[in-house]
Amino acid sequence: MTTKTIVLTGASDGIGAASARQLSEDGHRLILVGRSVEKTRAVAADTGAEWFTADFARLDDVRELAAKIAEAVGDGGIDVLANNAGGIFGDQTPTVDGHEKTLQVNHLAPFLLTNLLLPQLRTGHAAVINTSSVAHRLFGRIDVDDLDNRVKYSANKAYGDAKLANVLFTKSLHTKFHGEGLTSVAFHPGTVQTNFASDSSTIMRIVYRTPLKHLLLISSDKGGRTLTWFAEGTPDETWISGRYYDERVLTRRVNPMIEDAALAEALWRRSAELVGIDA
C-alpha cells in the first residue's frame, strides 16, 4: 500500500480517533486536528502522529491551523484531507464570527480550511473526504439567503442543512478541480456510538447518551473503518469523485437538491463571502 500524508480533522474522538489508529497501523503520515488539547494529544501519542488543535467555532483558529499545516507539509503536499469535524447543537447560537454554530462548525470552517490548503492539495493531487450524514436527506433544505436559519430554526434542520452543504461542497470541488487532479467524496459513516449530539438538546441526545445507543448505533471502530476505506482507497477506482455514499455504498437515496448545480455554485459563492475569501 502506498503511504500517504493525511490531514484528519475531528480526530480527538469518535470515528476520527478510530480511523487515526487504523491509518497509523498502515504507516501513513498523519496530521491530526482536534478541539481538545488533552484528547488530541492522547490520540497523537497512540499513533505517532503530528497534531494541532483548533476550535472550528472560531474562524481565526481555522486560518492559523491552515498556516501551520501548510508549514508542516512543506513542498510535499497533502494526499488526503478528511473533513471529519462536526456536530449537532442545541439552541440557535452565534459564533464569535457571527454565524450559526452548526453551520460554521460543520460547513464554513471546513470550507475555509480546504480553500486555504488548495496549494498543498493541488501539489498532492489530493482527495478531499467530507463526512456528511443521512440527515442531509432527512432534514436538509438550504436557503442560500438564510444559511443561518434565522427565519425558522430547529437544531435538526440546521444540522441537515450543514450536512447537505457538505455534499454540495463535494460536488463543487469535483466540478472546479477534478480536471486538475483533485477528487472529492462525501459519505454517511453510519449512526455511530460517539459523543456526537452530547451538546445538543434534540431527541438525538437521548439516543446517544442512554443504553439505547447499544441497540441502535454501530461502534466507532466500524464507522472509523469506513473513513479509513475512503482515505486509503484509490479515487475514481475505489470510489467515484463528486458523489455521496451511504457508508461504502453509492446510493440513490439522496436529497434531490444535491443535483442542483446552480445551488451548489450559489452556496460556494455565499460561503466564500461569509468566510472572507475570493469565490
Which sequence positions are flagged as catalytic? 159
Answer whether 165's CB lies under 8 Å from 139's CB: no
Q: How far is CA 97 from the centre of its chain?
A: 19
For cell 486536528, name the residue. Answer: 33
Q: How far is CA 170 from the centre of its chain?
A: 10
CA nearest 114: which of 65, 75, 52, 53?
Answer: 65
3-class DSSP state for residue 187? strand
Give the integer Cα–Cα distance in Å for 178 and 174. 5
Give the integer Cα–Cα distance in Å for 68 and 54. 11
Neighbours of 83 (CB within 10 A): 28
Give the integer Cα–Cα distance in Å for 132 and 241. 15
